[in-house]
Amino acid sequence: MASLTDRMMRAARLDVALYEEVEHDQEATGQAMAVVVASSVAAGIGQINALGTGGLLLGTLGALGGWYIWAFLTFIIGTRLLPEPQTEADVGQLLRTTGFSAAPGVIRVFGIIPGLGAVTILIAAIWMLIAMVIAVRQALDYSGTGRALAVCGIGWLIQILILAVLIGVVGGV
């Protein structure tokens, strides 16, 4: 099995072959989850300046929850609502590819540097969206990028709405 660091670097470089590789490597599931956790912890560390030490927990849990919601929605939208005739994927395949698409999110750790928080989050979000589109395209065997972009965009918007509602409910308690 390829090293986690090597796979994370390839995922961040948007290496299409990496996403195909992990889609078919059932033993890469643990690595994919490690990528998601590392990216989420980096987001938490990056929030310390903005939210204090509580930002570590809130940022980590928010990033982890956001990824999980987005991955779940992507599976449902991509396989049930917008599949192509050749679309054939199971949850494991999508979790592995989308897990590795979180690799660029590790840069969110630089949000701890004063003045870099918002910039780091923006760059990471765009980079992770691009990686997610590639991951979805490969996992769902789409013939083009447009459908993968639609699936990821719809899922991302729904995820934002869900997180906003959850933050509103928790913040209002």
- The number of domains in the chain is 1
Share of the chain above pLDDT 70, in %: 98
Any residues with CB less than 8 A from the CB of 171 and at least 6 apart, and which?
Answer: none
- Structural domain containing residue 122: 4-172
Per-residue pLDDT of 38-61, as tens digits, reads: 999 999 999 998 888 888 998 899
Q: 172 falls in which pLDDT band (50, 70, 90)?
A: low
pLDDT of residue 173: 53
**Alpha helix ranges (H) inside 13-109:** 16-24, 29-46, 48-51, 54-76, 91-100
CB 111 within 8 A of CB 50: yes
pLDDT in tens, 110-122: 999 999 999 999 9
Residues 49, 56 contacting (CB under 8 angstroms): no
Residue 2's pLDDT is what? 84
CB-CB contact of 107 with 120 (8 Å):
yes
Q: Whole-number mean pLDDT of the chain?
A: 94
The two structure tokens encoding residue 86: 């050749």
Token representation of residue 150? 């639609």
pLDDT value at 20 more than 90: yes
Residue 50 has a pLDDT of 85
User: How far apart, in whole angstroms, are the C-alpha atoms of residue 55 and residue 36?
Assistant: 18
Query: 64 pLDDT exceeds 90?
Result: yes
- List all residues 6 or more positions away from 114 whose beta carbon is below 8 Å from its beta carbon: 49
Over residues 8-25, the mean pLDDT reads 98
Mean of pLDDT values over 115-144: 96
Helix (H) or strand (E) holding 109: none
